[in-house]
Amino acid sequence: MFKTALRRAELQASLEELAQFGSTVDLARTNEPAENAKVEIIQVGGIHESQVFELEDGRVACIADLAITNQTSRPIHLVEIELRTSWGQNQWDWLTPQRIKYQRRGKRECSYLTYQFPGKCGLQLEYDVVINHFLLERRSLPSRRPLEGFLLGIGGPMPAELRHGQFQELALSIVGSDHTKYATTIELWTSRLEPLQKKERPRTNLVAQAGKEEVAPRRGVTRTPVVRQSERLRV
């Protein structure tokens, strides 16, 4: 078993090196098929619901709509979630829920949990449709009970070569406490921010315009929020 794990690690290292030089590789192929049969990981939802997209600060973020089922007779304890890309982005900060406080009538303070990406236009998702807290806080996959929802993460700077509208293949692995990897390949749509087109400035008298500072054009972004198409199964 040790030799098998070593060969798999060497193969994965070689594929990652090829990916960094621009070669198209499938990193999920480094996992044993028998391991994947124990945990079923399926990408679900619409083609635009799972995305890699650009944040306002230039970083890349991901949102993957998944259905995960532990097909064994016992719970599986998790130690790590890995998401590897063809452009070398392998380290992700997985989002954690935020508690939002508000006051109701009679000045009674209430709160609720939500997930939100950073930025003024940051995408916000309801706590119940995200699976980060199941995978990263509870760290357990119950036996034969499907877990369905969004996996949310933030990486480093978004590479310039990622074009809006392209589909990207990413290797997703769930690592158990016995170091077993349950892997699959997911396909995410690419969404980049687009600056608002500069409005045409009206013609002015050159004499009246002299001495005035030129005002820089304002830039803005728009994003279409993810809309749930069906009620999600939750543990």
CATH code assigned at 92: 2.60.40.1890
> In this structure, is residue 211 part of a structural domain?
no
Are 174 and 77 in contact, with CB atoms under 8 Å apart? no
Residue 172 within any structural domain of the chain: yes
Per-residue pLDDT of the chain (235 residues; tens, 9 = 90+): 333 344 555 556 666 666 666 666 555 555 444 566 789 999 999 889 999 999 999 999 999 999 999 999 999 999 999 999 999 999 999 999 999 887 777 677 888 899 999 988 789 999 999 999 999 999 999 998 899 999 999 999 999 999 999 999 999 999 999 899 999 999 999 999 986 533 344 454 544 454 444 444 443 444 444 444 444 544 4
Residue 232 lies in a domain: no
Domain count, the chain: 1
Whether 51 and 189 have beta carbons less than 8 Å apart is answered as yes
Measured at the CA of 53, the angle between CA 48 and CA 56, to 5 degrees, comes to 135
CB 62 within 8 A of CB 49: no
Nearest in space to 121 (alpha carbons), one of 23, 47, 45, 55: 55
- Note down the domain range covering 185: 2-194
Per-residue pLDDT at 195 = 67
Q: How far is CA 83 from CA 19, 62, 142, in A?
A: 14, 10, 22
Asked if the structure places residue 205 within a domain, the reply is no
Q: How remote is the C-alpha of 65 from its chain's centroid?
A: 9
In a domain, 200, yes or no: no
- Tell me, yes or no, whether 220 lies in a domain: no
Alpha-helical regions (H) of 41-196 = 132-133
Query: What is the structure's pLDDT at 213?
Result: 44
33 within a domain of the structure (yes/no): yes
Determine the pLDDT at residue 230.
43
Instruction: Confirm whether 202 is domain-assigned.
Output: no
pTM: 0.68
